């Protein structure tokens, strides 16, 4: 079955067009644009007209791609996450996505986002592997932490935390480059949020970590100095906790203009990559893990599998 999935997140709007058959996913087109839908939502509680128009401009291009690949009308789905959940006008925005773009669009709860992300991240792994695995999905407005058997589709624990790269950047990083006390305040809040949201026994149970989404893939690309970006070299790349610490220190000491020129980092992700690296680092510390495997398989794949299975 051919499916088209759009993920409208707080920081980026992404597209996956794929053929799904017998549990296998063959990607035909995959794109990501930093659209910053959640800009200012943490403070104002509303999506701005400017932010929504950035998303609509991206959806115009995605609609053309869906048409070119002959994706059936009933197989075009969109999921909206943290920004749309949190904004007072999120429901109105979702209705316009449905009406103007013909997408089966819905705002999903954080718990549902976590379940679908885990399914996507663990898809294709050894189904007999019962090793407790942590999946980390750092988004713009929230971070999903999911624990379950490495070879399973259903997690044993999942939580959506109000910590994301846009939210934490707007709350804490006000100077360019950010001084040490701003970085420490960000780290302290993230660590406290994790410890409050994830029981100690769950944190102690994880034996490995898989990190998905833009922060993790960007850090893997920076660490390898990839230009252009190569998903084949990013998928499966292992980031040690020490490497994440070094990357955070390096990126945090740069002014934004210099960060935009870092090899391997898309310029549009430069404003939020420091917060993202800090969230990943604090997550590894909280779970007592010394490395994370980076994966290109995430929420998009989970939604594609779900839609194809209907």
In which domain, by residue range, is 182 found? 126-295
Is the pLDDT higher at 226 or at 114? Answer: 226
Triad 210, 38, 109: Cα angle to 5°: 60
Given a contact cutoff of 8 angstroms between Cβ atoms, the answer to whether 215 and 138 are in contact is: yes
| 156 shares its domain with 257 | yes
Domain end (from 41, 76, 108): 108
pLDDT digits (tens, 9 = 90+) for 71-113: 999 999 999 998 999 899 999 999 999 999 999 999 999 889 9
| 15 shares its domain with 134 | no
Q: Tell whether the model's pLDDT for residue 310 goes beyond 70.
A: no
| 247 shares its domain with 150 | yes
Query: Which residue from 298, 300, 309, 299 is spatially nearest to 5, judged by alpha carbons?
Result: 300
| 151 shares its domain with 265 | yes
pLDDT digits (tens, 9 = 90+) for 143-155: 999 999 988 778 9
pLDDT digits (tens, 9 = 90+) for 281-303: 999 999 999 999 999 999 999 99
Q: How many helices (H) and strands (E) does the chain have?
A: 14, 11
| 163 shares its domain with 66 | no
Structure tokens at 23: 């549990």
| 140 shares its domain with 190 | yes
Triad 248, 203, 81: Cα angle to 5°: 65
Q: What residues form DSSP beta bridges with 57? A: none
Is 32 contained in some domain?
yes
Domain end (from 46, 75, 108): 108
| 80 shares its domain with 213 | no
Give me the phi and psi of 138, to 5 degrees please: -90, 115
| 222 shares its domain with 253 | yes
CA–CA gap between residue 206 and residue 133 (Å, rounded): 5
Mean pLDDT (whole number) for 231-252: 97
Provide the 3-class DSSP secondary structure of residue 136. strand
Is 310 contained in some domain?
no
Triad 256, 235, 214: Cα angle to 5°: 30
Is 174 contained in some domain?
yes
Q: How many residues in the chain?
A: 310
Is 21 contained in some domain?
yes
The alpha carbons of the chain give a radius of gyration, in whole angstroms, of 18
Give me the phi and psi of 25, to 5 degrees please: -115, 120
What pLDDT is stored for residue 296 in this prediction?
A: 94
Half-sphere exposure of 175 (CA within 13 A, CB side): 8
Structure tokens at 12: 């980026």
Q: Where are the beta strands (DSSP E) in the chain?
A: 2-8, 12-21, 24-34, 76-80, 104-107, 132-138, 143-149, 157-161, 208-212, 238-240, 291-295
Mean pLDDT (whole number) for 215-227: 97
| 74 shares its domain with 139 | no
What pLDDT is stored for residue 281 in this prediction?
A: 98
Query: What CA–CA distances, in Å, run from 303 to 6, 16, 54, 196?
Result: 9, 10, 23, 29
What pLDDT is stored for residue 152 in this prediction?
A: 78
Q: Which residue has the tokens 């789905």?
A: 77
Is 150 contained in some domain?
yes
Structure tokens at 76: 């075009």
Number of separate domains in the chain: 2
Domain end (from 108, 138, 168): 108
Instruction: Label the pairing between strands 238-240 and 208-212.
Output: unpaired
What pLDDT is stored for residue 309 in this prediction?
A: 82
What pLDDT is stored for residue 110 in this prediction?
A: 85
Is 305 contained in some domain?
no
Is 43 contained in some domain?
yes
| 101 shares its domain with 131 | no
- Mean pLDDT value across the chain: 95
| 92 shares its domain with 228 | no
| 100 shares its domain with 153 | no
The answer for 264, left when phi > 0, alpha when psi is -120 to 50, beta otherwise, is left
What CATH number should be reported for the domain holding residue 27? Answer: 3.30.420.40
Q: Which residue has the tokens 């969230």?
A: 279
DSSP state of 233: H
pLDDT band at 22 (very low <50, low <70, confident <90, very high): confident
Is 306 contained in some domain?
no
What CATH number should be reported for the domain holding residue 173? Answer: 3.30.420.150
The segment with the largest mean pLDDT, out of 98-112, 122-136, 270-284, is: 270-284
What pLDDT is stored for residue 82 in this prediction?
A: 86
Given a contact cutoff of 8 angstroms between Cβ atoms, the answer to whether 240 and 234 are in contact is: no
Q: Tell whether the model's pLDDT for residue 124 goes beyond 90.
A: no
């Amino acid at each position: 079955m051919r499916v088209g999935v759009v993920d409208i997140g707080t920081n980026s709007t992404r597209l996956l067009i794929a053929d799904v058959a017998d549990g296998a996913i063959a990607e035909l087109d995959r794109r990501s644009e930093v659209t910053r839908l959640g800009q200012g939502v943490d403070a104002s509680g509303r999506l701005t007209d400017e932010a929504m128009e950035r998303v609509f401009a991206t959806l115009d291009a995605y609609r053309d791609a869906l048409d070119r690949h002959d994706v059936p009308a009933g197989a075009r789905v969109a999921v909206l996450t943290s920004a749309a959940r949190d904004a007072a006008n999120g429901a109105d925005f979702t209705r316009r996505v449905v009406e103007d773009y013909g997408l089966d669009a819905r705002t999903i709860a954080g718990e549902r986002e976590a379940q679908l992300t885990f399914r996507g991240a663990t898809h294709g792994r050894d189904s007999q592997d019962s090793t407790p695995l942590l999946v980390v999905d750092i988004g713009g407005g929230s971070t999903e932490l999911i624990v379950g058997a490495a070879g399973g589709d259903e997690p044993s624990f999942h939580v959506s935390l109000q910590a994301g790269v846009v939210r934490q950047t707007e709350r804490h990083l006000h100077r360019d480059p950010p001084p040490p006390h701003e970085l420490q305040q960000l780290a302290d809040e993230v660590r406290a949020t994790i410890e409050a949201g994830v029981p100690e026994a769950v944190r102690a149970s994880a034996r490995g970590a898989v990190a998905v989404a833009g922060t993790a893939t960007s850090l893997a690309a920076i660490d390898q100095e990839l230009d252009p970006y190569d998903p084949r070299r990013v998928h499966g790349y292992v980031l040690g906790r020490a490497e994440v610490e070094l990357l955070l220190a390096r990126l945090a000491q740069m002014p934004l203009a210099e960060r935009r020129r870092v090899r391997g980092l898309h310029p549009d992700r430069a404003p939020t990559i420091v917060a993202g690296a800090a969230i990943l680092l604090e997550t590894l510390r909280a779970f007592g893990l010394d490395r994370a495997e980076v994966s290109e398989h995430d929420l998009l794949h989970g939604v594609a599998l779900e839609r194809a299975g209907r």
